[in-house]
Structure 1
Amino acid sequence: MSRHGGARAEEGHHRAAVSMATDALSGGRDALVSEMANDVVAQQSAGIGRMERLRAPR
Structure 2
Amino acid sequence: MLSRAQGLELEKAMDIYYNSRLSSLIESGAYGIQYLDFRVLTDELEKELTNLKYK
Given the two structures, how large is their TM-score scaled by the length of structure 1?
0.35
Work out which of the two has the higher radius of gyration on C-alpha atoms and give 1 or 2: 1
More helix, by proportion: 1
